[in-house]
């Protein structure tokens, strides 16, 4: 895959080709940046992390925008959705849900599809648990699970793939109080060579590590209520995941056990970012993504 494509996928924060862009105001007066691409059935794109700029999902909305209205939200504290205060009061599940409700109200729609990657998949389930009729379709990509079980093995699955040089880099990041995500990136991929190519172009300036450290505890605290609510969720759920994704197959099956209507598509020789692995995996991913939208 061409390096210029990687550049677009990972380090660009390009908004110039958006059909339209604007800000909305959430219930706590947070200004949230939104971009739109295409026309048709609305799809809300939710990035992972928590703390990643949504620009890395650009290949997904470019693929779908010829048929759908692709709405890309910079989640609170990421991208152009800046926060003046970053603490446990600003990163709550209530605030995340209120952000999506503010977006739905602005769009003047009574339902939309939620497409979430990693943490974004978890957020999609948070919203669906509270407003199931407004989110009748979930597209979960390499998603975290509805509970905290994934954290029992996620780090082990990452760390077992790291080389000595990765651990050394991680220690340096720790000593400088910098995020370690770039150092451990190879642990997210099946193909280490591919991971290193991407890592060389990865710009972490937009990554909000505090969002991650504050959001996951809030997610865990909300767990029991969310899991109980999702048992009665009747919407369509499609899950696409690499077979070697560090979130593990058990996370996918946990989602399906909770929501039996979930269809699961595993991609072989593939990690946490299917559209960034090798050509065969990329091709299969986009075929599965388009099938999930039908």
What is this structure's pTM? 0.93
- pLDDT per position as a tens digit, 191-215: 999 999 999 888 777 788 899 999 9
The predicted structure's pLDDT at residue 17: 64
The predicted structure's pLDDT at residue 165: 97
- pLDDT per position as a tens digit, 50-66: 999 899 999 999 999 99
The predicted structure's pLDDT at residue 204: 76
Strands 113-117 and 236-242 come out as unpaired
The predicted structure's pLDDT at residue 5: 42
Within 8 A by CB and 6+ apart from 88, the residues are: 214, 217, 218
**How far, CA to CA in Å, does 73 sit from each of 35, 53, 99, 165?**
7, 9, 9, 35
Alpha-carbon dihedral angle through residues 163, 164, 169, 171, given to the nearest 10 degrees: 120
C-beta of residue 25 within 8 angstroms of C-beta of residue 31: yes
Within the chain, residue ranges assigned H as helices are 3-10, 58-64, 93-107, 119-130, 154-159, 164-175, 192-199, 209-221, 223-230, 249-258, 279-293
The predicted structure's pLDDT at residue 267: 98
Calculate ∠ Cα 47-80-178, nearest 5°: 70
The predicted structure's pLDDT at residue 9: 44
The predicted structure's pLDDT at residue 7: 39
Q: What DSSP designation does 207 have?
A: -
Residue spans of the domains in the chain: they are: 3-153+207-293
Residue 231 to residue 251: CA distance in whole angstroms: 16
Q: Provide block-wise average pLDDT over 10 residues at a time, the chain (294 residues).
A: 41 56 97 96 96 92 96 96 93 97 97 98 98 98 96 96 97 92 96 94 83 95 96 98 98 98 98 97 98 94
Residue 257 to residue 194: CA distance in whole angstroms: 33
**How far, CA to CA in Å, does 271 sit from each of 110, 140, 281?**
35, 14, 10
The CATH architecture annotation of domain 3-153+207-293 reads: 3-Layer(aba) Sandwich (3.40)
């Amino acid at each position: 895959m061409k390096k210029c494509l990687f550049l677009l996928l990972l380090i660009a924060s390009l908004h110039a080709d958006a059909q339209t862009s604007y800000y909305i105001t959430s219930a706590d007066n947070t200004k949230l940046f939104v971009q739109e691409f295409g026309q048709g059935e609305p799809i809300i794109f939710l990035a992972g992390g928590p703390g990643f700029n949504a620009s890395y999902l650009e290949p997904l909305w470019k693929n779908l925008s010829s048929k759908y209205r692709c709405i890309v939200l910079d989640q609170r504290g990421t991208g152009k959705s800046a926060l003046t205060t970053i603490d446990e009061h600003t990163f709550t599940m209530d605030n995340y849900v209120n952000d999506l409700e503010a977006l739905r109200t602005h769009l003047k729609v009574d339902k939309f599809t939620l497409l979430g990657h990693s943490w974004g998949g978890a957020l999609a389930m948070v919203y669906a648990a509270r407003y199931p009729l407004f989110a009748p379709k979930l597209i979960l990509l390499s998603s975290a699970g509805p509970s905290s079980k994934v954290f029992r093995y996620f780090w082990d699955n990452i760390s077992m793939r790291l080389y000595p040089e990765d651990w050394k880099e991680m220690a340096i990041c720790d000593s400088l109080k910098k995020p370690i995500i770039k150092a451990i990136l190879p642990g997210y991929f099946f193909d280490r060579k591919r991971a290193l190519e991407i890592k060389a172009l990865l710009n972490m300036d937009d990554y909000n590590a505090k969002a991650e450290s504050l959001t996951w505890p809030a997610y865990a605290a909300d767990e029991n209520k969310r899991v109980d609510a999702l048992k009665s969720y009747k919407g369509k759920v499609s899950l696409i995941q690499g077979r070697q994704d560090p979130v593990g197959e058990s996370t996918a099956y946990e989602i399906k056990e909770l929501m039996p209507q979930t269809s699961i598509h595993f991609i072989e020789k593939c990690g946490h970012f299917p559209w960034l692995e090798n050509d065969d995996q990329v091709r299969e991913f986009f075929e599965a993504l388009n099938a999930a939208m039908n």
